[in-house]
Amino acid sequence: MAIHVGVIGLGRMGQIHARNIAENVPDATLYAACSYVDEELELAKREFGVKETYKNYEDMIANTNLDAVVIVSPSGLHTEHIRIAMQKGLHVFCEKPIGLDSEDIKKTIEVINSRPNQVFQLGFMRRYDESYQYAKKLVDEGTIGELTLIRCYGIDPSSGLESFVNFAKNSRSGGLFADMSIHDIDLVRWFTGKEIKRVWAIGKNAAYPILDKLGELETGAAMMQLEDKTMAILVAGRNAAHGYHVETELIGTKGMLRVAQQPEKNLVTIFNNEGVVRPTSQNFPERFHDAFIREMKEFISCIKEGRQPEVTAYDGLLGTIVADACQKSVETNSIVVID
């Protein structure tokens, strides 16, 4: 029988998950949706065939027809929404970050751990991207030897700035490191299997003064040392003129790997009066289109097969702790040690 899913949040990301559940995950039915915004609820009925819509989350999950919820509400609401759904006996998929406050996340993990028969999955979708999975396999097989340094770029396109400003005005993003670098922090932990122990982070706003008013950074950089002295350098930003720039480099004792050396759209190269041009992915829905579908298929498979996914709530906690350390490092201009 199909798993009945309710989605909370139908904004930029919520609509992607809603469409995937409705159209691309065969064993799932998008049964209900919740949002503050009337037009989004209308769209959910019209485009995704949702049967029931709600403005209040607790009303939605009181519906006994639901098996699972997909939480795509603003980041500051995730932990509360996870706890309520877990306590109702539902399986939970939650977008990143799991939360913005580590003590609150720890309380939430206690609730998750007290219900081992319910699936909990966190939206670290890069782990479901085929290129990252291939790179991970090569690293695990020792192809590039022992890792010494990981360099990550995660920069949103300048064209997305307006929508980000609206997002940041209406809800807490958690800052550049919790909102953007969290994916790279997870990749560093995933590739190495080691914890990050010291960080030094800095940032600058240049092109968009409005980000100063919102307490947000346009570009930030963090240097990290892991427990075994492996190094990581993370660059995050909101202002890539050429598109959505996600790139990862892994340097090992026997070689080097790059994922998306140029963040290419596809295999096409254009030769014209602008020179030799490689089109780039323009945004996260385009670059991670398949990964979003694969992570949702994994969530539904876990429910059907009675198992937990590889990515855990603990990974979410560690992501937030490291992102917080980066933010603190920017604010205090000092190296922050993570216990």
**Interface residue list for ligand NAI (CB under 6 A):** 8-14, 34-37, 40, 57, 72-75, 77, 95-96, 123, 125, 167, 170, 179, 284
- Burial class, 169, CB count within 10 angstroms (exposed 0-12 / middle 13-18 / buried 19+): exposed
Question: Between residues 77 and 338, which has the closer beta carbon with respect to ligand NAI?
Answer: 77
**Closest Cα to residue 203, out of 171, 182, 176, 169?**
176
Question: Between residues 73 and 329, which has the closer beta carbon with respect to ligand NAI?
Answer: 73
Question: Between residues 82 and 226, which has the closer beta carbon with respect to ligand NAI?
Answer: 82
Give the nearest distance from C-beta 338 to ligand NAI in angstroms: 22
Question: Between residues 226 and 313, which has the closer beta carbon with respect to ligand NAI?
Answer: 313
CA gap 233, 2 in Å, rounded: 43
Give the nearest distance from C-beta 17 to ligand NAI in angstroms: 9
What residues does 147 pair with on adjacent strands?
Answer: 252
Give the nearest distance from C-beta 220 to ligand NAI in angstroms: 16
Give the nearest distance from C-beta 259 to ligand NAI in angstroms: 16
Question: Between residues 37 and 337, which has the closer beta carbon with respect to ligand NAI?
Answer: 37
Question: Between residues 130 and 227, which has the closer beta carbon with respect to ligand NAI?
Answer: 130
| CA end-to-end span of the chain | 46
Q: Which residue has the tokens 């790279």?
A: 184
Give the nearest distance from C-beta 34 to ligand NAI in angstroms: 5
Give the nearest distance from C-beta 178 to ligand NAI in angstroms: 8
Give the nearest distance from C-beta 78 to ligand NAI in angstroms: 6
CA gap 37, 168 in Å, rounded: 17
- Burial class, 261, CB count within 10 angstroms (exposed 0-12 / middle 13-18 / buried 19+): exposed
HSE-up of residue 276 (Cα within 13 Å, Cβ side): 2
Question: Between residues 72 and 144, which has the closer beta carbon with respect to ligand NAI?
Answer: 72
Question: Between residues 74 and 279, which has the closer beta carbon with respect to ligand NAI?
Answer: 74
Could you tell me where the beta strands, DSSP code E, fall in the chain? Answer: 3-8, 28-34, 52-54, 68-71, 91-94, 120-122, 147-157, 196-204, 219-226, 231-240, 245-252, 256-259, 270-272, 275-277, 336-337
* Residue 245, number of CB atoms within 10 A of its CB: 20
Q: Which residue has the tokens 């190094």?
A: 231
HSE-up of residue 244 (Cα within 13 Å, Cβ side): 11
Give the nearest distance from C-beta 177 to ligand NAI in angstroms: 12
Distances (CA, A) of 73 to 8, 82, 158, 167: 6, 11, 23, 11
